[in-house]
A and B are shown apart, each in its own frame.
Chain A
Amino acid sequence: MKSVMKRLIGMIPVFIGVMLLIFVLLRVVPGDPVQVLLGEHYSQDTIDRLTKAMNLDKPVFEQFLLYLSGVFHGDLGMSYVMKKPVTSLIMEALPQTVILALMASTFAWFVGIGSGIIAAIKQNKAPDHIFMGFSLAGISVPVFMSALFLQYVFSFKLKLLPLSSDGSLKSLILPAIALGWNSAGSVARLTRSNLVDALQADYIDTAKAKGLTNRAVIFGHALRNSMLPVITLMAIQLSSMMSGAVVTESIFAIPGVGRLATNAIQTRDMPLLQGTVLLTTVMVIFGSLLADILYSVIDPRIRREA
């Protein structure tokens, strides 16, 4: 517990750093949120009035401090464009993103670990090539291609699943596969190569000599020892999926965090973008914490070292 607290406190400078970076970048980006709001009709009067109303006439550093003090009071500000509190916009988008991320990760882990194991056992035989080929295709095809393809085949032609999100779990299956397939490739690769290494280790020979079945050797010994880096990878993947998957969300019309963030960039909606980046940072920090905890569950030695 203590080390967790220490880690969290250690992340505060990183946190402020992320905020500062996005703040500075957004001031350097050409383009003006007021102009985006006004679109076609405007006069200089209107621009001046709006700039003042949005606090954009204050010095940048003052704006940053105002924002930081807001964050520590739990207030992320109002979205310039959507005119709603950033917190409520994020809370509205988060459930979809979380469910999608969980489903995609589940798919990635089952497929990835499964094909990794099969490939490792049948090393250099046909199943190895088939399963690894499938997984690697996931890494090599840009996500928009696989997403459009799945949408076309399963929704448009076969009419098995909804074409776009309607809030139901069913409508998230295809996006989860499109997103998860991508991660499955890396999981499979890592599982396979670690397992191959582990199967060559001395203690495996010992275990085999003791008369354990092949299956017991693989699942009891080799897999356990080769899973540590895989878990790291999976935690990282999960936390990054939580921060939104812009392309998948666009193609399947899912109102998630990724789209909120890209819209915010395009409309220079600073409070909204800062809010989503903040969320992402928190997710990443928790992702690595989670991996740490899982590590110590699986391998008690690490607990002692820490």
Chain B
Amino acid sequence: MEKTKKSTDHHNPGSSGAAAAAAADRKSADLSCEIKSYVGIRKKIRRMCRENPLAAVSAAVIVVMILMAVFAPLIAPYQEAEQDLMARLQGPSAAHIFGTDELGRDVFTRILYGARVSLMVGIIPSAITLVIGIFFGLLAGFHGGWVDYVIMRFVDVMLSFPTLLLCMVMMYVLGRYADSVLCIILSLSLINWAGTARVVRAQTLSLKETEYVEAARSIGVKRIRIMLRHILPNCIPSLIVLYTLSVPSSILSESTLSFLGIGVQPPAASWGLMVNQSKQFLFTMPWLALAPSLSIMLVVLAFNFLGDGLRDALDPYLESR
């Protein structure tokens, strides 16, 4: 049975690691009789797009958001931190389609630049998490014995820690060596890998016992090769799903940190920070908070729908949540 963490307020759809791990544990018996091949992934995704329009639309939304973030300097009508003190707190107009904030900065421009930070903070830590998780998961699952014991106890430690508190402490520790966005990326990466490690370990354990791997072993194939060539590829579908679901959770984590004032450093923009800066105006000047909140919602929903779609399409064994 698994333990998992979830102490930030927002529900962590991505730390589904544990629930997924439970599923993987339970389904391991079925898994062992079938070795899936990862070559069919592209085909399955194509089928998903046909059969699940919601997931396809979500994917499109994500792509558009990423493009907007990448080309922010070209699209944005103003500079990221360009202030106009004479035009503070204006409502939406032709000059500022989402209005201006307290320092007279264009909200639309900041949404675009904020997308860079928010998406980066979603996408990169989830990837790093995956690498760390795969490394420890494979090692623990394949080696077994004391290595497994030590790694899994460490995973337990990480999982029983209140995430938000750990994140705050990490932000303070790392704060002196890197800028705030990098800090968030590193903190989230160093904290969230434990769930992935669990899933990978569970799958490794069951795959290890398959005749296929046994055979490879008996003919003297090197361990590392077995891990990388035979076991890892079979984990890929679940990992894709895990990844897609952990992106929105990281985005929400960033927004919570920024809301608490320890996330992204002004004058840089992130959606969470923009909500934080405009929360007092929520009801007198709603446009200020509306744009960033809706952006967060949209992206998080899109990733969630895409994740659901991918799970249905790729991985019947990773139980949905």
Interface of chain B residues 262 through 301 with chain A (CB within 8 A): 272, 275, 279, 282-283, 289, 293, 296-297, 300-301
Which of B165, B259, B279 interacts with A261 by CB under 8 Å?
A: B165
Asked if A96 CB lies within 8 Å of chain B CBs, one says no
- Given A17-B157, A277-B161, the answer on whether A25 and B7 have CB atoms closer than 8 Å is no
Which residues of chain A come closer than 8 Å to B2, judged between CB atoms? 232, 288
CA distance A169 to B176 in the complex (A): 43
Which of A31, A183, A280 interacts with B160 by CB under 8 Å?
A: A280
Which residues of chain A come closer than 8 Å to B176, judged between CB atoms? 30
**Least distance between B250 CB and chain A CB atoms (Å):** 13
CA distance A153 to B199 in the complex (A): 42
Interface of chain A residues 22 through 44 with chain B (CB within 8 A): 22, 25-26, 28-31
B260 engages A21 (CB within 8 Å): no
Which residues of chain A come closer than 8 Å to B13, judged between CB atoms? 139, 185-186
- Output the nearest chain B residue to A157 by Cβ-Cβ distance: B283
CA distance A65 to B250 in the complex (A): 36
CA distance A297 to B252 in the complex (A): 36
A14 engages B156 (CB within 8 Å): yes
Which residues of chain B come closer than 8 Å to A261, judged between CB atoms? 162, 165
**Least distance between B21 CB and chain A CB atoms (Å):** 10
Which of B9, B156, B248 interacts with A247 by CB under 8 Å?
A: B9
**Least distance between A34 CB and chain B CB atoms (Å):** 17
Which residues of chain B come closer than 8 Å to A28, judged between CB atoms? 173
B260 engages A229 (CB within 8 Å): no
Asked if A148 CB lies within 8 Å of chain B CBs, one says yes
Asked if B4 CB lies within 8 Å of chain A CBs, one says yes
Number of A-B contacts (CB under 8 A): 179
CA distance A189 to B223 in the complex (A): 39
A244 engages B162 (CB within 8 Å): yes
B18 engages A236 (CB within 8 Å): yes
A244 engages B7 (CB within 8 Å): yes
- Output the nearest chain B residue to A11 by Cβ-Cβ distance: B156
Which residues of chain B come closer than 8 Å to A13, judged between CB atoms? 153
Asked if A203 CB lies within 8 Å of chain B CBs, one says no
Asked if B169 CB lies within 8 Å of chain A CBs, one says yes
**Least distance between B304 CB and chain A CB atoms (Å):** 7
B320 engages A142 (CB within 8 Å): no
B6 engages A236 (CB within 8 Å): yes
B9 engages A288 (CB within 8 Å): no
- Against A, the Cβ 8 Å flags (1 = close, 0 = not) of B2-27 are 11111111110100101100110000
Which of B22, B172, B293 interacts with A142 by CB under 8 Å?
A: B293
Asked if B319 CB lies within 8 Å of chain A CBs, one says yes
B168 engages A14 (CB within 8 Å): no
**Least distance between A17 CB and chain B CB atoms (Å):** 4
B19 engages A229 (CB within 8 Å): yes
B153 engages A141 (CB within 8 Å): no
Asked if B42 CB lies within 8 Å of chain A CBs, one says no
- Against B, the Cβ 8 Å flags (1 = close, 0 = not) of A238-265 are 0010011111100000000010011001
- Against B, the Cβ 8 Å flags (1 = close, 0 = not) of A260-301 are 011001000000010011001100110110011001000000
**Least distance between B155 CB and chain A CB atoms (Å):** 9
CA distance A229 to B25 in the complex (A): 12
Asked if A144 CB lies within 8 Å of chain B CBs, one says yes
**Least distance between A246 CB and chain B CB atoms (Å):** 6
Asked if A76 CB lies within 8 Å of chain B CBs, one says no
B157 engages A233 (CB within 8 Å): no
Asked if A140 CB lies within 8 Å of chain B CBs, one says yes
Asked if B213 CB lies within 8 Å of chain A CBs, one says no
**Least distance between A240 CB and chain B CB atoms (Å):** 4
- Given A142-B296, A229-B319, the answer on whether A284 and B159 have CB atoms closer than 8 Å is yes
- Output the nearest chain B residue to A279 by Cβ-Cβ distance: B162
B300 engages A140 (CB within 8 Å): yes
Asked if A110 CB lies within 8 Å of chain B CBs, one says no
CA distance A148 to B4 in the complex (A): 28
- Given A240-B5, A247-B259, A284-B3, the answer on whether A189 and B11 have CB atoms closer than 8 Å is no
- Output the nearest chain A residue to B154 by Cβ-Cβ distance: A17
A265 engages B169 (CB within 8 Å): yes
Asked if A138 CB lies within 8 Å of chain B CBs, one says yes
Asked if A193 CB lies within 8 Å of chain B CBs, one says yes
A265 engages B168 (CB within 8 Å): yes
Asked if A18 CB lies within 8 Å of chain B CBs, one says yes
- Given A142-B255, A247-B260, the answer on whether A190 and B321 have CB atoms closer than 8 Å is yes
- Against A, the Cβ 8 Å flags (1 = close, 0 = not) of B171-213 are 0110110000000000000000000000000000000000000
**Least distance between A42 CB and chain B CB atoms (Å):** 21
**Least distance between B245 CB and chain A CB atoms (Å):** 10
Which of B11, B164, B169, B301 lies at the interface centre, i.e. has the most chain A CB atoms within 10 A of its CB? B11
- Output the nearest chain B residue to A30 by Cβ-Cβ distance: B176
Asked if B256 CB lies within 8 Å of chain A CBs, one says yes
Which residues of chain A come closer than 8 Å to B5, judged between CB atoms? 240, 284
Known: A25-B170, A186-B11, A246-B260. 6 other contacts (CB 8 A): A18-B160, A137-B297, A152-B282, A182-B11, A276-B165, A280-B162
Q: List 11 A-B contacts (CB under 8 A).
A: A18-B157, A26-B169, A141-B293, A144-B256, A145-B275, A182-B9, A236-B3, A240-B5, A262-B165, A276-B162, A284-B159
A-B CB proximity, top 7 nearest: A193-B320, A143-B9, A240-B6, A17-B157, A190-B321, A182-B11, A140-B300
